Structure 1
Amino acid sequence: MPWAIYFAVLGSVISVGLAIGLSMPLVSLRLEGWGYGSFAIGVMAASPAIGILTGASLAGRLASRVGTPRLMQLCLVTGAASLILLSLLPSYPLWLLLRLALGAILTLVFVLGESWMNQVITDRWRGRLVALYGSSYALSQLAGPLLLGALGTEGDQGFWLGALLMLGGATLLLGRQGAPAAGGHTAAWQALLDFCRGAPAIAWAVALFACFEAMILTLLPVYALNQGFGQQLALYMVSAVVVGDALLQLPLGLLADRLSRQGLFLGCTLGLLAVSLALPLLLHTPGVWPLLVLFGATAGGLFTLALILVGERYRDAELVSANACIAQLWGLGCLVGPLVTGAASQWLTGHALPLLMAAGAAVLLVIVGRRGSAPATVTEAT
């Protein structure tokens, strides 16, 4: 087991999580301070999704030409430059374009980084090390809002620190080997449809968690503010959700190596449904804090299981293709989730965020009950 390579790639992806955790809440709070409503903030939160879809389709082709390590380094440096431009160009239309570019750039980092880690992990460690990745990434996003709370939201320090972190992530990849040999394919829509038909629970779980993550980092602070909480407390509520995401991953990884993964899927789905329905009822009570922890734990568990199931079945180009399909689903979730939730929050109900998550969990519950959670083979497109 090449531990040094695994932890170097893990560190580079964590640097992205920290940068996202710093910048996404800062963008939303800055827009809220400028007087934009929930729908406009939701549009901003959804803008990287178009870039995610573009980046996912180009991952294999670019990696085959440039090489996985070098492409990841280029993406991290370019992402750092985009964060710096967010601080220098405070304009809503320009921020939309920059966030779209960030979506494409950082998707390449996730697709290639997750493929690289799954490639070097041995089967006997797969559940635990994939879970360690999920936990570490969640903790990086937890640290992001905490650092932002310490730095303050009035200045641009959050953008600059995020840029420095991504530059540090690029240096970790210098001289690293063992990356998957990517083919010159794209994650075509036909391959994605085949993946969804063969593994509907995996597909829906990835899209649902993408909705969840985008909404938690961008719309949960606004949701809390609209429900009467202060800005500092709103950031702590985001942190509580991410703590829950991080806490479950390592125990889940151990269980995934020993128990039925479909059973674990079902448990996480039921938990997410129950917590989402209870959140509006307990929002202004002390019970909201453990509930927020469970909110993150149950949602994050679904995505960790998806990565474990995909990683055990594919290698090299097929592994990159599978992760590209997952990235496309992620992009769709990031696009639809904030837009629908932002619109519903502004025009239907102030509790749209937890209620829509409950609806998504209910759909997943039906899929898991009918079809199971095993992923299908991903067809490589040319």
Structure 2
Amino acid sequence: MRWGTYFAVCAAVISIGLALGVTMPLVSLRLESWGYDSFAIGVMAATPALGVLLGALVAGRWAARLGVTRLMQACLLFSALSVALLALLPSYPLWLALRLVIGVALTVVFILGESWINQLAPERWRGRLVALYGTGYALSQLSGPLLLGALGSATDSGFWAGTGLLIGGSLVLFGRSGAPRVDAHSASGRGLWAFCRRLPAIAWAVALFAAFEAMILTLMPVYMLREGFGESLALTLVSVVVVGDAALQLPIGWLADYMPRISLFRACGLLLLLSSLSLPLLLHTDLVWPLLLLFGASAGGLFTLALILIGERYRDDELVRANAHVSQLWGIGCLIGPLFTGAASQWLSGHALPLLMALGAAGFVWLVWRQDDFAEPAPV
């Protein structure tokens, strides 16, 4: 087990979470201050999802030519440049283009980084090591809104902080080894439908968590503002959701190494369904604080367990290809979630965000209880 490499790759991916945690709410709040409506903000939030879909198509070919480590470093530096340009070019159409570029570059880092982490993890520790990565990523997103609250949304300090974080993420990868072996056809995105048919609950969980994450960092601050909370309190409430995401990932990962993982998968789906339905009812009560913790923990548990279940089945090219499908599903979730929620918030209900999450959780619960493919022997 290459512990130094494991923590370096985790740090590189976590730098993305912190940078996004600062810049995504800042973009939404800036657009809100410019007078854009919920649908326009939702379109901006969904734009990186198109980049995710493109990144999943090219990651394997680029990695085969440049090498996993050098490609991850290049994408982090290119993302840093794009975030800097958000500060220098305050224009809605230009921001759409920059967010698309950021989506492509960071998707490549996610595909290769998560494959690298799963490849390094021994089976007996897989649950805990993947959960530790998930906890670190969630904590980075938690720190993002808190850092933005300290810096304020009136200046461009948040954009410059994100730029520095991405540059730092590139630097920690120098000299690291043990990356998955990748050929030009890996992570090409082919076979997504077959992957979804074979593991429909895992596929749904990934798309659902992607929609959750995109909406929490972009539309939830706006949702809280329109429900009467001040900006500082709204960002704090968003951070509480991410605290919940981070707080229980290590316990979930530990349990995943000692008990049936499908049972944990089902429990997280049920908790997400119940907490989503309860949020509109308890939003203006003291119970909203523990409820938001549960909301974040159950959603984060779905994604952590999905990665664990994928990691126990695949290695090398197959693992990278599976993570490319994860990124495609992530892009679909990030695209559909903000678009539907932004439109529904404007034209149907102010509580569209939690209600649509409840609908998605109900779909997952139905899928995970009707299939038994988790009992199949892992290909590895």
TM-score bracket relative to the smaller structure: over 0.9
> Counterparts of 1:1-382 in structure 2 under 5 Å?
1-185=1-185, 187=187, 190-372=190-372, 374=374
RMSD of the alignment, in Å? 1.5
Answer yes or no: is the 8 Å Cα contact 1:195–1:376 preserved in 2. Answer: no
Answer yes or no: is the 8 Å Cα contact 1:50–1:331 preserved in 2. Answer: yes
Q: CA deviation at 1:120?
A: 1.2
Gaps of at least 5 residues in structure 1 are: none
Taking the aligned partners of 1:303 and 1:189, their CA distance within structure 2 comes to 19
Answer yes or no: is the 8 Å Cα contact 1:309–1:375 preserved in 2. Answer: no
Cα distance change on mapping 1:240 and 1:6 into 2, 3 Å: same
Query: Which portions of structure 1, spanning 4 or more consecutive aligned residues, are displaced by more than 6 angstroms?
Result: 375-379
Cα distance change on mapping 1:136 and 1:373 into 2, 3 Å: farther
Q: Quick one: which amino acid aligns to residue 68 of structure 2? A: T
Q: Could you state the TM-score of these two structures normalised by the residue count of structure 2?
A: 0.98
Gaps of at least 5 residues in structure 2 are: none
3-state SS of the aligned residue for 1:374?
helix
Taking the aligned partners of 2:189 and 2:25, their CA distance within structure 1 comes to 32
Q: Quick one: which amino acid aligns to residue 202 of structure 2? A: I
Taking the aligned partners of 1:310 and 1:320, their CA distance within structure 2 comes to 10
Taking the aligned partners of 2:186 and 2:116, their CA distance within structure 1 comes to 17
Q: Could you state the TM-score of these two structures normalised by the residue count of structure 1?
A: 0.97
3-state SS of the aligned residue for 1:177?
coil
Q: CA deviation at 1:374?
A: 3.0
Deviations 1:207-256 (A, max 9, x none): 00000000000000000011111111110011000000001100000110
3-state SS of the aligned residue for 1:344?
helix
Matched residue count:
379
Taking the aligned partners of 1:264 and 1:154, their CA distance within structure 2 comes to 42
Q: Quick one: which amino acid aligns to residue 302 of structure 1? A: L
Answer yes or no: is the 8 Å Cα contact 2:23–2:159 preserved in 1. Answer: yes
Q: Quick one: which amino acid aligns to residue 87 of structure 1? A: A
Taking the aligned partners of 2:152 and 2:142, their CA distance within structure 1 comes to 16
Taking the aligned partners of 1:14 and 1:205, their CA distance within structure 2 comes to 21
Taking the aligned partners of 2:69 and 2:128, their CA distance within structure 1 comes to 24
Q: CA deviation at 1:344?
A: 0.1
Percentage identity across paired residues of the two chains? 66
Taking the aligned partners of 1:263 and 1:373, their CA distance within structure 2 comes to 13
Q: Quick one: which amino acid aligns to residue 353 of structure 1? A: L
Cα distance change on mapping 1:124 and 1:165 into 2, 3 Å: same
Q: Quick one: which amino acid aligns to residue 5 of structure 2? A: I
Answer yes or no: is the 8 Å Cα contact 1:344–1:352 preserved in 2. Answer: yes
